[in-house]
Structure 1
Amino acid sequence: MRATELSELAAFAAVARHKSFRKAGEERAVTASAISHAVQNLEARIGLRLLNRTTRSVSLTEAGELLKSHLDPAFMEITSALDALNQYRDTPFGKVRINVPNSIAPFVLGRVIGPLLTKNPNLELEVVATDRLVDIVEEGFDAGIRLGYRVTDGMVAVKIRPRLRLVVVGSPSYFEHRPIPTEPSDLANHLCIRNLFPSGAQYPWEFEKDGQSYVHSPVGPLSLDDHELMMQAAVAGVALAYVWQNRVDQQVADGTLVQVLDDWCQPEDFLYLYYPSRRHMSAGFRAVIDAMKTD
C-alpha cells in the first residue's frame, strides 16, 4: 500500500470518527479542505461513496460503515505496534489528548505537567479545558477528567488527585456592611454570585455538616460560569462567591478574601480520569495516568 493510500484511509477514519471534516482536520493537523480532498480521492479510487455530505452534517454510507469497522481495529494494531517500539527508547513517545473542566484544570494538571514532560521529553500532551460536556470518543480525546465515579458503559475510571471542595468567600469591604454568616441559612440575607453551567443553567450552593444538609439558591446582581471571574468579583466586594478553594487560597491567606462557613463546606467527590476500556494503553498514556492517579 502506498503512503498516499494510507493517508487517505487515515483521513476517512478521522472523519468517520468525528462526523466532521473540520474536527478531523484538527486531529490530523491539516485543513478541512485537505481532509475532504483525501476522502474524495479515496472514494474515486475505490469507486464507492463512503460519506453522505450536507451543508450541516456528515454521515457514513453502508460502505463507509463497513470500511470503518475494518479500519478501526487495523489502526489500533498499527498504534500498538508503534508504541511497542517504546521499549527501545528511554522515554515514551507520542501525543496524548486530554479533556478537563476549565474550572479545575489548573489544580489538576498544574502540578503534573512540568514533572511529566521533564521526565518524558518525547511525550506531547494536548489539553483542552472546557466546562461543556464533551464526548471524548467522538472528539478524539484519549481521556477526560470529571468529578465523581459516573461514567458510561465501556469506560474505565481511575481516581486522581487532588480532592477539591467548594467554599464561600467575600471581601473585607463586603463584610464591613454585612454580618459574617455562621449558618448556610444566613445566606438568604446576602448578595451571592449565581453559579452557571456552560448551558446557562444555574446550580445551587450545597452544604453539609454533622449529617445535616442545606441547599441555597443564590440571589444577587451577577451570574457567572467562570470561577476566576467569581473570585475577582468577590475581591471587588460585589457579592459572596462559591468557588473552588484552591482558586482562592492565596487571597484568603493574604486577607484579600475572607472564607466563611468553613465547617459546612465538605470535600467534593473524588476526581476521576476516564477513558474507553477498548482504548490501546500506550506507554505515553500510561505515563500520564501514573503521574495523576492517587497513591
Structure 2
Amino acid sequence: MNRPSLNDLTAFMAVATHRNFRRAADSLGTAPSTLSHAMRALEERLGVRLLNRTTRSVAPTEAGMQLLAQLQPVLASLDEALNGVAEFRGAVAGTVRINAPRVAASLLVRDIVPMVAERFPEVVVDIVVEGQLIDIVASGFDAGVRLAGSIPRDMIAVPIGQPVLFVCVAAPGYLDRFGTPETPDDLARHRCIGHRMPSGKLYRWEFERAGQELVVDAGGSLILDDEELMVDAAVAGLGIAYVAGPAAEAALRDGRLRQLLAAWTPAPEAVALYYPGHRAVPPALRAFLDCVKAARGRSV
C-alpha cells in the first residue's frame, strides 16, 4: 500500500473533526476544493471510503471514525515531540487557538493579549468566538474560556480576572416611562429582552437574596443571542436586559444604563481558561498561561 503523507492524514483529521470542508480548509490555510480532491486521493490510495459527503455536510464513515480515533493521539504525540524540540530555540513561538464566548474574548483582548504580544512576540493568539460549549480537543483548540461551573472536570482550569456578576440593566428613559422594578416579580409587568442560548433555549434570569433563590422566565417582544446586542437594545430603551457585568460596564459607567435589583444580584461566577490535563502543554500555550496568571496577580 502506498503510505499516505503526514499532510494527507492531518488534512483528513481536520475534515473529520470540523465535518465541513470550508471550515477545515480555513484551519489549514488551503482551499476547500483542494482539500476535497486530497480526500478523494487519500480514499483511493487506502482503498476505502473515509467520508460520507452530501451537498450540505460531510461525516466520517465507520472506517473514517476508526482512523480518526487512532490518528488523534498519534498526531498529538508528534506535536508534543516537535514542541519539545522547539523549546531549544530559546524564543517561544507558535499559535494558541482559544475558543471563548464574546464577553470572555473581549476580556482576553483587553487584559491578556497585550501582555502576550509584549513578552512573547512570536506567539500568535487565534481566538474563535463561540457561544456554545464545545469539545475543544475534538475541535482542534488548545484552550477554551467559560464560566468555571460549566468546564468539564477532566480539564485544568486557570481563573481569569475577577469573578463576573450578572446584572439587570435598563436605560434611564425606559425607567422614566415604565417605572423601576423593586423585586424580580415586578419584571412580569415590564418589557424584558430575552436571551436565546446556543442550545436554542431561552435563558432564565437568576436572582438571589439572603439565601433565597428566584428564577424568572422573563418575556418580551425582543429576543437576542448576543450580549452586546442586548446591551445596545437596553441603551435604546427597548427593555430590561440581564447580562454579564463586563458587557454593560461602559454603559453603566457613562450613565446610559442603570443597574436594577442590585439587592437581588446573585453571587459572582468565576471565569476560567481551561485546557486538557492529559497531554503536555505546548510552549505557546504555556506562555499564554503565564500571562493569564500574571494579569490575575496584577488585578488582585
Shorter chain as denominator, the TM-score bin is: 0.7 to 0.9
Give the unaligned 5+ runs of structure 1: none
Look up the equivalent residue of 1:58 and give its one-letter code. A
Whole-angstrom distance in 1 between the partners of 2:233 and 2:239: 7
Gaps of 5+ in 2: none
State the shift of 1:247 in Å. 2.2
CA displacement at 1:218 relative to structure 2: 1.5
Q: Residues of 1 paired with 2:176 and 2:76: CA distance?
A: 62
Q: Per the alignment, do residues 156 and 139 of structure 1 end up closer, same or farther by CA in structure 2, a change over 3 Å counting?
A: same
| Paired residues of 2:105 and 2:127 also in contact (CA < 8 A) | no
Secondary structure of 2:36's match? Answer: helix
Which residue of the partner structure matches residue 180 of structure 2? Answer: 180
Q: Is the 8 A contact 1:148 1:269 kept in 2?
A: yes
Contact 1:49/1:61 (8 A) holds in 2 = no
Cα distance in 2 for partners of 1:230, 1:82 equals: 44
Q: State the partner residue of 1:59.
A: 60
Q: Give, in angstroms, the shift of residue 121 of structure 1.
A: 0.9
Hey, what does 1:98 align to over in structure 2? 98
Structure 1 distance, partners of 2:59, 2:219, is 44
Match of 2:255? 255
How far residue 126 of structure 1 moved from its aligned partner, in angstroms, is 0.8
Of 188-197 and 68-77, more deviation after overlay is shown by 68-77
- Identical aligned pairs, as a percentage? 36
SS state at 1:233 partner? helix
Deviation at 1:166, TM superposition (A): 1.2
Query: Which amino acid counterpart does residue 81 of structure 1 have in structure 2?
Result: A
Q: Deviations over 1:165-213 (max 9, x none)?
A: 1111122212223332332223233222122213432112111121112
Q: TM-score, normalised by structure 2?
A: 0.85
Kindly indicate whether residue 241 of structure 2 is the aligned counterpart of residue 241 of structure 1. Answer: yes
Q: Is the 8 A contact 2:104 2:145 kept in 1?
A: no
C-alpha change, 1:53 and 1:194, in structure 2 (3 Å) is closer
Task: Quote the residue 1:126 is aligned against.
Answer: 126
The offset of 1:68, in angstroms, is 4.3
Shift of 1:16: 3.7
Q: How much does 1:256 deviate?
A: 1.7
**What value does the CA root-mean-square deviation take over the aligned residues?**
2.7
* Residue 196 (structure 1) aligns with: 196
Matched residue count: 292
Bigger shift: residues 93-102 or 220-229: 220-229
Asked if residue 83 in structure 1 is aligned to residue 78 in structure 2, the reply is: no
Q: Which whole-Å CA distance do the structure 2 matches of 1:86 and 1:158 have between them?
A: 25
Determine the C-alpha separation between the residues in 1 that align with 2:136 and 2:44.
31
